[in-house]
Amino acid sequence: MTQPVFSRRNALGLFGLAGLAATAGCGSSVGGGSSAGSSASGGGGAIKVGLVIPQDGVYTPLGVDMKNGWDLFLERHDGMLGGYEVETVIGDEGEGPDTGVPAIQGLIQRDNVDVLVGIVNSASALGAAEAVAAAKKVLVISNAGANAVTGDARNPYIWRASFNNAQAAFAMGEYLASQQPEGGVFLMAPDYAAGQETFVAFKASYEGGGGTIAGEALTPFGTTQDFQPFLSAIPGSGAGATFVFYSGGEAVSFVQQYAGFGLKDTVPLYGSGFLTEGSVLEAQGEAAVGIQTALHYSTEIDNPANTEFVEAYQEAYDVLPTCFAVQTWDAALVLDLALADAADLSGDAVSEALGGVGEISDSPRGAWTFDGQSPKHVEYLREVQEGDGGLINVVVEELGEYGQ
């Protein structure tokens, strides 16, 4: 869902991590590349997990949520995954592959971790694929949604416990095709990989279901502060609904301006769930009420696992969980299941065990399975409403199961 933005912090991170990587290189040459792992095989030993999350840059809030999800799972399972005592080493992913890939290399070579978890940015995930394959370590991705990660660019060591970019857009396309908004749908997304994947998936299901596209606009990613020039095309297009994919800062500006230019009341707004997920929803405020989105999670899903999860999360961190926290919780959950069956901690054994976990029944998002190496799960139609403690994403209906 993400793409690197070049900024001076990025550049600084690059310098910093270049230094780190150099140190890591020295460490491994001295210690010798022991891919045999530091832990005893079989149950009852210890496992070292590298958690790669952004601790600097625009995705830092996601990194916080992911760490919370991970910590909460371990806390509620006595610090154990599949019978192994867990030691977590954190690596800073930064904003893009220029920092994310060295962070992963450092964890593999310097810290000698057995398994890796995390990664927000799809470009970092694609960049890391080679490193984890060469080291034969399993990476369980807990965000990065580019289809290619577990599609064209797949290798046996990369598993995904989050989502892929096409799912929410495809589900929403089917739903809007069934709703038949008069005048068709206007599409908007940032002009980068995730935005383009969203366009393709939405059109495939929406036009496949007989809908017409009233118009579309790809906005320059990272440099668009003001959406008015693009928004002004919507009334003229005669569209009866707008579907967008925005996240983070762009989601906040977009939703506020959509309301500010009076479109919210005339052309209903639909989106991929990241439009109204987590801290952005708070910043959007009243402008977000009534927006409908599709996502694989909402805090309002009614199942025992979610109720327990939301309660525990709120107690521990005093905020509502986000899909990013759930995805990392689920990464821990699948590792917990897989490690219990794995013959040893080698990448091949863990990967094989992940292939055999079957249905993951007690996830907060509801039961899901691996379709290939990426989740097949229910997409929920959610609507932003005023709740007791602020805005929430209320589940309107289930849109069905979607896979790789």
Partner 1 sequence: MTEWFADNFISILNGLAIGSLLFILAVGLSLVFGMMDVLNLGHGALYLIGAYVGFQFTGGISSWGGFLTALAVAAAFGLVAGLILSVATEPLVGRGHLDQALLTLGVALVVAEVISIIFGDDVQNVVAPPGLNESIQVFGNTYPAYRLALIGVGAVLAIVVWLVIEKSSLGALIRASVSDREMVSSVGVDNRKVKAGVFAFGSMLAALAGVLGGPVYGARTGLDETVLLLALVVIVIGGLGSVRGALIGSLVIGQVESLGRANLPEFASFMLFGALAVVLIVRPRGLFGSKVGAP
Contact positions vs partner 1 (CB under 8 A)? 5, 7-9, 12, 57-58, 60-61, 191, 217-220, 223-226, 228-230, 232-233, 236, 248-249, 252-253, 256, 259-263, 279-280, 283-285
Give me the least distance between CB of 226 and partner 1, in Å please.
6
What one-letter code names the amino acid at 257?
Q
Of 73 and 254, which CB lies nearer to partner 1 in the complex structure?
A: 254
Q: What type of residue is 246?
A: Y
Q: How far is the CB of 50 from partner 1 (least distance, A)?
A: 23
CA dist 79 and 115 (Å) reads 15
Closest CB to partner 1 among residues 263, 357: 263
Nearest-10 crossing angle of helices 323-341, 347-355: 110
- Residue 146 or 280: the one with the smaller Cβ distance to partner 1 is 280
Q: Is residue 255 a contact partner of residue 284, using CB atoms and an 8 Å limit?
A: yes
Q: Least distance in Å: CB of 208 to partner 1?
A: 26
CB of 37 to partner 1, least distance (A): 35
Q: State the minimum distance, in angstroms, from the CB of residue 225 to partner 1.
A: 5
Which is nearer to partner 1, 56 or 87 (by Cβ)?
56
Percent of the chain as helix, strand, coil, to the nearest 5: 45, 20, 35
Measured in whole angstroms, how far is the alpha carbon of residue 155 from the centre of its chain? 19
The answer to whether the beta carbons of residues 305 and 365 sit under 8 Å apart is: no
- Least separation in angstroms between residue 262's CB and partner 1 is 3
- What residues have CB less than 8 Å from 349, skipping those under 6 apart? 342, 343
CB of 234 to partner 1, least distance (A): 11
By beta-carbon proximity to partner 1, the closer residue of 220 and 400 is: 220
Instruction: Classify the C-alpha dihedral 250-67-378-319 as positive or negative.
Output: negative
Which is nearer to partner 1, 61 or 156 (by Cβ)? Answer: 61
Name the residue nearer to partner 1 (CB basis): 191 or 352: 191
Strands 185-190 and 241-244: parallel
- φ and ψ at residue 246, rounded to 5 degrees: -140, 155
